[in-house]
Structure 1
Amino acid sequence: MSIQVNRLGDPAVRAFVTAVNAHDKAAFEALLAPGATMSDDGTDRDITDWTEREVFSSNGHMDIESESDGGRTLLVTYRNDTWGEMRTKWRFTVDEAGRITRFETGQA
């Protein structure tokens, strides 16, 4: 059972998932605050390099299983052409302007 993207509670997170699933790099980049950071399985990564490899060039797609923390923590079935399908957890930090300052992902 998955949650429809348009029903996600946090507008910035909803826009993030929408941009990932549409492979819309410009929309994705517009959501990030200047200097935004991210980590994958507890290791900080270069956000531009990681998203190009894990999302955009590999057809990444997020199916949302559940959300918590006001919509800023997601349990996701994530798939891409590189790794196939895996269950992941995503946590987002959003600033007062509604831009994502950090996201953390990893195996769930």
Structure 2
Amino acid sequence: MTDDGALRDFGAFSAEIGNEYFTSIEKVSPDGHTVTGQFHSETWGNFRTFFRFVPDESGKFRQLDIGQA
């Protein structure tokens, strides 16, 4: 996975997640793989972000990219 373009270990990233969530969804890509909206983090406050899920050949997600939008 990547977080603002930096490679991250998904297991470590998952363990660090606190009470973080989208406060509003602005856009979902037609394929449903990218979500953009306002996000809240107890550490970083409120900001606009995207989550992009990249599927493999079988349709399972192999990559997650998160970043400020």
Same fold (TM over 0.5): yes
RMSD: 1.5
Q: Which amino acid aligns with 1:46?
A: D
**Alpha-carbon distance between aligned partners in 2 of 1:47 and 1:80, rounded to the nearest angstrom:** 18
Relative to its length, the structure with more helix (as a share) is 1
Partner of 2:52: 91
Deviation at 1:67, TM superposition (A): 0.8
Pair 1:43 & 2:43 matched: no
Contact 1:77/1:85 (CA < 8 Å) preserved in 2?
A: yes
Count of residues in Structure 1 that have an aligned counterpart in Structure 2: 67
Percent identity between matched residues is 36
Relative to its length, the structure with more strand (as a share) is 2
**Alpha-carbon distance between aligned partners in 2 of 1:73 and 1:48, rounded to the nearest angstrom:** 21
52, 67, 75: which is aligned to 2:28? 67
Give the TM-score normalised by the residue count of structure 1.
Answer: 0.55
**Alpha-carbon distance between aligned partners in 1 of 2:15 and 2:43, rounded to the nearest angstrom:** 12
| 3-state SS in 1 of match to 2:15 | helix
